[in-house]
Structure 1
Amino acid sequence: MSDQDTPRNNEGNQPEDELRRMLEQLLGGGMINPDQLAGVAGLPADPQALSQMLGQLQRAMMNPTEGVNWQVVRDAARQSITDNREVEKDTAKEYEQSFSLAQLWLSEVTSVGSTGLLDAPRSITRYEWLNLTLDTWSEIAGPVAESISRALVEMLNEQAPEEYRAMIDQSKPMVKSMGQAMFGMQLGQVLGQLAKEVLSGGDIGMPVLPNGQAALLPQNLAAWSDGLEIKPSELLLYFAVRELAHAHLFIHARWLRLHLVNSITEFARGIRIDTERIEDTVRGLDVSNPEELKQVLQSGQLIPPRSPEQEVALERLETMLALIDGWVDVVTQDATSRLPNADAIAEMVRRRRATGSPAERAFGSLVGLEIRPRRLREATSMWRLVTEKLGPEARDALWDHRDALPGAEDINDPFALVERLRGDTSDSPTDDLDDELARLLGDPDSFGDAPEGGYSPDR
C-alpha cells in the first residue's frame, strides 16, 4: 500500500503515527510515572535505569523488530547485578588447582570424562556467567516471549476504545515489539538475580553454558558458604568435582544437550493464547495500579494452563533432569569420599535445590516451566543400586545411547531395571534386590547424603 492509499485520520496523519505519538506521550509526557513503570518491569528505580528503560521502549516503538532484543535483556540483567567482582589471580590459581585434583578423583570412580573438556574449567564472574549463558536462554525463552507478546496484542485490541482498534490493528508490529521489550526487561531482571545466586555452570540442572565448558563462580560460592563451619578448600573441591561430573556427562553423551534444549524449547512453543483467560485476568485489573499489573505479569497468569501434550512433555523433561542430577549426585559422592564433610555438603546442596531460589521461581512464572526435577531422590537411589549391583562401567554405559537410558518406569522399579540389565529373565527370587531398594529408599544415610543427625525427607 502506498502513502496515498494509507488510511489517515481527519488531520491527515497515519494511524500508526497517531498511535506512536499516543504511546510516546504515555511514556514521556507525564501520563505514566517512570518510577511506577520501572516497578512494573521489575527494575530498580534509579535515574540511569529509568532513562535506559524508556529509551528501549521508545526504540521498540520507532523500530519494531521480530523477537526479543537480547541486548535489552543483557542490559536489564547487568543493571540488576549491583556487585560484580573480578576473580583475583590467586583465587583463579586456587580454583585451577582444585579442578585438577577434582579431575583426578573423578577419573577414579567413572569413565565418563576421560575424553576431556573442550575448554579448561575455570572461575568466572557474574557478568561472564550472563554472557556465556545468554544464547541458551534465548533458545528457551524466545518462543515464550513471542506467545506472550501476541497475547498482549490481543488484550490491547479487546480493551482499547473502539476508535483506537483500527490503529492498533495497523500497528501490531510496533505493539508486539513493545511487549517483547517489556518481557525482555523482566527476563533480564530474573537472569541478573540468577547470576547472583548460581554457584556453577550446572547448578540449575540444565546445560546453560556452551557445550564443553565447566565453571564455578567464586563470588557466589563465598557468599553461599559464609558462616558454614566447613573449610573453604573442602567446599571448593566438592563443587569442582560436581561441576566437572556435570560437564563431562554432556561431553560423553553428545546427544544429551541438544535433546534437553529441544525438549525445553518444544515445551515452550506449546504455549498458546487463551483469550478467555486473558479477558478474565484483566477484567478486574486496575491498569492505573502499577503494583497490581506487576503482580499479574510476574504471577504467570497470562500463560495458559498446560495442555495434555505439554504435561506429557514436562514429565519426560523432569525425568531426564532427575536422571542427570541423580547420576551427578552418585559419582560426586563416590569421588569426594575423602572429604570429611562431603555428606554434610551434599545435604546442604539437596536442601538448597529442594527449596529453590526466588530467581528460579520468577523464571518459572515468566516461562511457565519449573526447571528443578521433582524425582531426584528416586533417581539417585536408582543410580546407586545400579552402581552397587552392576558396577560403574555398566552404569555409565547407559548414557551411550538415548534408547539405552532408563526411563520413568525404571526410576519407579529400579530392581527390575537391574534384572533386565543382567539379562536374567528366570523366576529366581529378587528378595535381595527388594531389600536393597528398601534400604536405599528408607534410609538415606545408606547413600551418604544425610547429616550426622539423620535425615528427614520432609526437611
Structure 2
Amino acid sequence: MSPDVPSPDGPDATGPQQWEQMLRAMLGPAADDAIREMRAMGVDPAALAAGSGLPTDPVALQQALGQVQRMLATSGDEPVNWEMAHDLARQQAAAGGDPTLSPGRVKEVSDALSVAELWLDAATELPPAAGTAHAWSRAEWVEATLPTWRTLTEPVAASLSAALADALGPAIGELGEGLPGGLPPGLPPGMADPAQLLRGLGSAVFGLQVGQAAGTLAREVFGTTDIGLPLLERPSPALVAANVDAFAEGLDVPVEEVRLYLALREAAANRLFAHVPWLRAHLLDAVAEYARGIAIDVDQLEDAVSSIDPSDPAALQEALSGGVFAPQTTPAQQAALARLEHALALVEGWVDEVATTAATPHLPHTVPLREMVRRRRAAGGPAEQTFASLVGLELRPRRLRDAATVWAHLTATRGTAGRDAVWEHPDLVPTPADLDDPQGYDARREAAVDESADLDRALAQILDDAAGAGGAAPDGDEGTPGTPAG
C-alpha cells in the first residue's frame, strides 16, 4: 500500500472520520459521549453504518442526515409540516411550466364564468355565490386552497402521529435505556424524546404527502370544487386555465365549449356550498370523525419499515406513497367514510344534473362532455390515490350516476324550486335507499312523516295520562285535606 494512502484501519481512515463527523453533525455536543460509548461496547460506527444499509458515500450520508435534521427541525408541534407541504406543492404545480396568465386568458375565463351564471339562473333557484370569480394559474390554486387542505388533513395527521407515538415510542425508549447511560445527553430538540421524535417524523411524512398530492391536484383540477369538497372557506368560482385547455386538447370539442361547460359545473357547485350552510361542515366533520378512530397495526408497520432501503430516496417515497403508515379501518370509521361518500355523490349528482340542464340549450356537445367528466371523476387521479393510500380516505363519489338520477326525478316531480328546497335540512336529502329507488323518494318521506306523527300522538297520550294520574282523586274518594287520596 502506498504510504500516501491512509490505512482503512488507521486513525486517519476516511470512513470512520466521516462517520464521526456525521454523528457530530447529527448529535451535536452529545456526539463525543456517544462515540466513546459505542467504542467501549466494541461497536465501530462505520461497520454499524454498513450493516444498516445507510449510504457509505460521505457526501450522500451528509445529505441524508441533513435532510433528516431539517425535517425534524422544521416540523415543530404541528401534525403536518406545512412549510414542507407548501414548498413541495408549489414545486409540483410548476412542473412542466406554470406561466402567469395574460390579460387575454383571464378575460376568457371571466367571461365563461359570467355566462355560466346567466345560464344557471334558468336551472336552479339558488343564487350565485357572493365571491369574486377568478382565473388562476396552478400556483395560485395551491395558495388559495392550502388552508382547506390544512382543515382536511390535520385531524387525520394528528391522530395518526399520536397512534405512531403510542405504538413505537416505548420501543424506542427501551432501545435508549439499553445503552450505557441511556440516550446521550444534549441531543438536539425533538430527538431525545421518542414520542416527540415520532411526531416530528409523522409531521414530515404528512408534509411530503400533502404537498405531493396538492401539487399534483394543481395540475389536474379545473376549479375549487371538482373533487367534491369545497376548497375555499368562502365559496367563489374559479377555473385553472391551463388545466381546462389541457383537458380540451384530448377532446373533439371546441375549447370554448369545454370552458363553458366546466364553468357551469364550477359555478353551480359554488352556489350550492354558498347557500346550503350545513353542507361544508357536514363533509369536513365526516373526515374528522374518521380521524378520531385511527389506530396503527404495529406488526404491519414494522414489516413495512424493515423493507425500506433508506439509501434509496425513490424507494422510500414509493413506500410512503404505498401506505406504510396506513391505519386500520374500524367499523365506526367505515360508517363515517360511507357517509362522506354518500354526501359527495349527492353534491356531484346535483351539480351534474343542474349544469347539464343549463348547458343543453346552448352547447351542442353537452352529452359527451357530461360523460367525459363523469368517467374522469369515477376513475380518480394519482393525487386522490395518494390520499387514499395514506389515510384510507377516497374523495370519490361512487354513486354519482344514481344521485344524478334522483335529482332528475325530483326535478320532474317537484320542479326546480322543490328539488332545491330538499337541501334546506340534512333529513330531507336523498338517502342510500333513495339512490337505490328514486321513484320511492316521496313515499318514504310520507311514511317518515306519518311515523313521526304517530310518535308525537303517543308521547302526547303518555303526558296526558301522567297529568291525569297526578290530578284530582276519583269520585267518592276525595280524601281529607292534607291526607293523600286513596
For residue 211 of structure 2, the aligned residue among 164, 176, 188 is 188
Contact map agreement 1:110 1:396 (CA 8 A) in 2: yes
**Structure 1 partner of 2:110:** 96
Question: Structure 1 pair 75/419, CA: closer, same or farther in 2 (3 Å)?
Answer: same
Q: Which amino acid aligns with 2:383?
A: A
Find the residue that maps to 1:399 and give its secondary structure: helix
For residue 171 of structure 2, the aligned residue among 145, 155, 158 is 158
**Structure 1 partner of 2:161:** 149
Contact map agreement 2:169 2:195 (CA 8 A) in 1: no
Distance 2:406 2:396 in 1: 18
Is 1:265 equivalent to 2:288 in the alignment? yes
Bigger Rg over Cα: 2
Is 1:363 equivalent to 2:387 in the alignment? yes
| Residues 83-232 of structure 1 aligned to structure 2 (within 5 Å) | 83-112=97-126, 114=127, 116-153=128-165, 154-155=167-168, 158=171, 162-163=175-176, 167=183, 170-232=193-255
Distance 1:55 1:170 in 2: 15
**Structure 2 partner of 1:344:** 368
Find the residue that maps to 1:391 and give its secondary structure: helix
**Structure 2 partner of 1:440:** none
Is 1:325 equivalent to 2:348 in the alignment? yes
**Structure 1 partner of 2:408:** 384
Q: Report Cα offsets for 1:177-235 as digits up to 9, x if no partner.
A: 23312321232122111111111111111111222211100011111211422111111
Q: Which amino acid aligns with 2:344?
A: L
Is 1:413 equivalent to 2:413 in the alignment? no
Contact map agreement 1:277 1:304 (CA 8 A) in 2: no
Shift of 1:68: 2.1
* Alignment size in residue pairs: 393
Q: Which amino acid aligns with 1:261?
A: L
Q: Which amino acid aligns with 1:68?
A: V
Distance 1:259 1:20 in 2: 55
Contact map agreement 2:113 2:237 (CA 8 A) in 1: no
**Structure 2 partner of 1:274:** 297
**Structure 1 partner of 2:11:** none
Is 1:57 equivalent to 2:71 in the alignment? yes
For residue 424 of structure 2, the aligned residue among 384, 400, 425 is 400
Q: Which runs of structure 1 show a deviation greater than 6 angstroms over 4 or more consecutive aligned residues?
A: 19-22, 25-29, 422-426
Q: Report Cα offsets for 1:97-150 as digits up to 9, x if no partner.
A: 2112111110001101x2x32212121111111111111111121122223434
Q: Which amino acid aligns with 2:404?
A: T
Q: Report Cα offsets for 1:230-273 as digits up to 9, x if no partner.
A: 11111111111110100000111011111111111221232123
Contact map agreement 2:224 2:238 (CA 8 A) in 1: yes
Question: Structure 1 pair 281/174, CA: closer, same or farther in 2 (3 Å)?
Answer: closer
Contact map agreement 1:132 1:210 (CA 8 A) in 2: no
Structure 2: tracts of 5 or more residues without a match: 1-26, 35-45, 184-190, 451-486
Distance 2:192 2:222 in 1: 46
Contact map agreement 1:390 1:418 (CA 8 A) in 2: no
**Structure 1 partner of 2:60:** 33
Question: Structure 1 pair 351/176, CA: closer, same or farther in 2 (3 Å)?
Answer: same
Task: State TM-score, norm by structure 2.
Answer: 0.73
| Residues 282-293 of structure 1 aligned to structure 2 (within 5 Å) | 282=305, 285-288=308-311, 290-293=313-316
**Structure 2 partner of 1:300:** 323
Question: Structure 1 pair 294/69, CA: closer, same or farther in 2 (3 Å)?
Answer: closer
Distance 1:424 1:306 in 2: 32
Residues 215-224 or 139-148, more deviating = 139-148
Q: Report Cα offsets for 1:377-422 as digits up to 9, x if no partner.
A: 1111111111112211111000011222121111112111033457
Contact map agreement 1:139 1:265 (CA 8 A) in 2: no
Find the residue that maps to 1:123 and give its secondary structure: strand
Question: Structure 1 pair 36/295, CA: closer, same or farther in 2 (3 Å)?
Answer: farther
**Structure 2 partner of 1:237:** 260
Find the residue that maps to 1:398 and give its secondary structure: helix
Residues 65-74 or 188-197, more deviating = 65-74
Distance 1:21 1:121 in 2: 61
Distance 1:108 1:20 in 2: 76
User: What RMSD in Å do the two structures reach over aligned CA positions?
Assistant: 3.3
Q: Which amino acid aligns with 1:127?
A: A
For residue 78 of structure 1, the aligned residue among 54, 78, 90 is 90
Shift of 1:84: 1.9
Residues 239-248 or 353-362, more deviating = 353-362
Q: Which amino acid aligns with 1:384?
A: A
Distance 1:21 1:86 in 2: 54
Q: Which amino acid aligns with 1:138?
A: R
Question: Structure 1 pair 387/273, CA: closer, same or farther in 2 (3 Å)?
Answer: same
Q: Which amino acid aligns with 2:211?
A: G
Question: Structure 1 pair 285/228, CA: closer, same or farther in 2 (3 Å)?
Answer: closer
Task: State TM-score, norm by structure 1.
Answer: 0.77
Shift of 1:54: 5.9
Contact map agreement 1:296 1:302 (CA 8 A) in 2: no
Contact map agreement 1:300 1:365 (CA 8 A) in 2: yes
